[in-house]
Amino acid sequence: MTSTTGSPRPSSLDPEIAARLKRSADGLVPAIAQQYDTGEVLMLGWMDDEALHRTLTTGRCTYWSRSRREYWVKGDTSGHFQWVKSVALDCDADTLLVKVDQVGAACHTGARTCFDADVLLKDADLKDADRKGADLRGAGPEDAEAAGSGAPGSGQ
């Protein structure tokens, strides 16, 4: 994401907003759709300046389809609408967070989210990894002090 020049497609996006965006070489910005009230991450889509303009002005998510090379409004064909609650630009200005009220499935497969089917690491796995990591690291200086082991600063 290095390009700051405008989208190659014409747009009505506010020039002040457009000037802040950092786009991919093809003029796109990733847009993460998140359920506004639960924080559930729903999907990732791509927006150019015009898709962002349409999203901001219509209250419905509009994305740019990289494969079909056209705009699509979430829900127009599926009935699974995304009603926009807020749109934020991340600290690097290269990713959008669109908080939505999702009606129906967000994923084209019919799943609630695009991130349900192929989980690479679960919370339980992470806790096990944390435990194993702690065992491998051993006790640090602060742990030795707390245990009164005679380590520097322990008062022994």
DSSP letters, 117-135, are S--S--HHHHHHHHHHHHH
- pTM listed for this prediction: 0.74
- Sign of the torsion angle spanned by Cα atoms 111, 114, 119, 125: negative
Candidates 92, 94, 114; CA nearest to 29 is 94
38 contact partners, CB below 8 Å, separation of at least 6: none
pLDDT for residue 145: 52
Q: Which residues of 4-32 are buried (b: 16+ CB within 10 A; e: fewer)?
A: eebbeeebebeeeebeebebeeebbbbbb
- The mean predicted confidence, pLDDT, of the chain is 85
36 CB contacts (<8 Å, ≥6 apart)? Answer: 85, 86, 99, 100, 101
d(CA 102, CA 113): 10
The kind and range of the H/E element at 34 are: strand 29-35
**pLDDT (tens digit, 9 = 90+) per residue, 47-102?**
999 999 999 999 999 999 999 999 999 999 999 999 999 999 999 999 999 999 99
Q: How confident is the model at residue 139 (pLDDT cuts 50, 70, 90)?
A: low
| Cα gap 66→27, rounded to integer Å | 11
Please state the rounded mean pLDDT for residues 105-123: 91
